[in-house]
Amino acid sequence: MLSETKYFFFLSDILNKKVKRSDGSTIGRVVDVSVSSAPLKVYPEVVFLIVSTGLIGKRVKISISTLEPFELPIGHLFLKSDPDEIGVEEFTEPTNGISLLKETFLDKQILDTSGCKVVRVNDLHLLKEKNYIWVVHVDIGFRGIVRRLGWLQMLDTLMEWVFSYKPQERFVSWKYVSGLPQKDDRRTDSLAFSPSYHCLTNLNPADMADILSDTNRDERIAMFNLLDINMAADALPELPAKIQKELIESLERKKRLEVILQMPDNKIADLLNYLGPRRADEIARQLPPEKRDKIKGLLLHPEQTAGALMTTQYLSLNKDLTVEEAFTKAKESIANSPDLHFYYLYIMDGEQNLVGVMTIRKLLVSPPEKKLSEIMTSKMVKIKPLTRQHRIKDMVKKYNFSALPVVDAQNKLKGIILLKDILKNNVMG
């Protein structure tokens, strides 16, 4: 049995250690550790050592309970009795609820659900407590790599001598560890973990995009396929064009359409440009006619122009509405189209010409009986669809607007350009 002493040690401390019989003869070397995770336990429990006997790669599993007490530093591991008496079994493959720590996690990427970021597993931190060993932390720091190379003492001595500084450990608690899914593998394993997506539901889409960018292709596709529609639609436009194409084509046809329908029109237009004519035409035919016409209009504008950068997700109101009526109308429009940008409200006449603009703040502080035509700003900075992006940059710098309206020759509002899209497309230079 194990020592009663409670202490921490690392997976690397026990790997490659010799396991010996009570008479001192060697059974083999530790090549991995198997763990079991009961549904109600926070930390997985180490249950077996996987030992290579050296006989044509034969591996056996040895129960932790059969070991003689050991403490740090770990040397050889001894069985408390003859292996024939305790039943050393040949090891084949892990069964349900059992995972191999080295094979599953070491040098692999995992999701840190506390910080919602992808990190690399450099070592695993174990806790020996009474007759049990638990996996409690993942080591994601540089010290984990150096420890496995056997250079840790030399590194610490050198750092303290040269810089009077000892590098700190960097751990992620096992409670916040989630394995990354693999392509075409939707199986949820108690230890290999389908990701814990509770932290991702409220994640900023840009952060979600960073996580997707930091994973390899198969992991990225598998994770994206497991996201809900709204998160997938929000994160996709934040990714580089090549990855957007890769991910949208990985989706089943139904989900692909659902994701695209949740995206702003200008982002759909950008995506269709990335996909190429054949795939873009296939997707466009699946869109509702009104949305398809808007997107086709956006696709007609040359690159590096206002028309190619604008979005049609704006809120417009008739100039003859009272403030009270405008509130009601605005609430209905936002409820029906949650992606509308409404920091600025665009005021139209009966012929749908753009005649004014106002902020939502102005609407909030105005008397409810006032008409919008009485409180709107009629002097506006407007741009044309063919305005070049360097000109847009100059106007944004000069006037410090969060959005600019794009109108055609007849003063019809075609869309708006958002400051965030200007920045994202490097228009600010």
pLDDT number for residue 412:
93
Q: Where are the domains of the chain?
A: 7-104, 200-300, 308-424
pLDDT number for residue 201:
66
> Looking at per-residue confidence, does 23 or 32 come out higher?
32
Residue 111 near residue 178 (C-beta atoms within 8 A): yes
The pLDDT tens digits for 133-156 are 999 999 999 888 888 888 888 877
Report the amino acid identity of residue 352: Q
pLDDT number for residue 358:
93
Residue 193's pLDDT band (boundaries 50, 70, 90)?
A: very low
Number of other CB atoms surrounding residue 365 within 10 Å: 9
Residue 15's pLDDT band (boundaries 50, 70, 90)?
A: very high
Q: Report the distance separating Cα 279 and Cα 375, nearest Å.
A: 47
- The H or E element spanning position 27 is strand 26-36
Distance of CA 325 to the CA centre of its chain: 41
Number of other CB atoms surrounding residue 104 within 10 Å: 19
3-state secondary structure (DSSP) of residue 427: coil
Give the CATH architecture of domain 308-424: Roll (3.10)
Domains 200-300 and 308-424 share a fold: no
Residue 110 near residue 177 (C-beta atoms within 8 A): yes
CATH code given to domain 7-104: 2.30.30.240
Pick the CATH number of 200-300 from 3.10.20.90, 1.10.3720.10, 1.25.60.10, 1.10.3210.10: 1.25.60.10
Task: Please state which of the ranges 45-59, 252-266, 365-379 shows the lowest mean pLDDT.
Answer: 45-59
Quote the mean pLDDT of the chain: 84
Q: Is the pLDDT of residue 195 over 80?
A: no
Task: Identify the sign of the CA torsion 85, 91, 96, 100.
Answer: positive
Query: Given phi > 0 = left and psi -120 to 50 = alpha, else beta, which region is 348?
Result: beta
The pLDDT tens digits for 334-358 are 888 777 888 899 999 989 899 999 9
pLDDT number for residue 286:
92
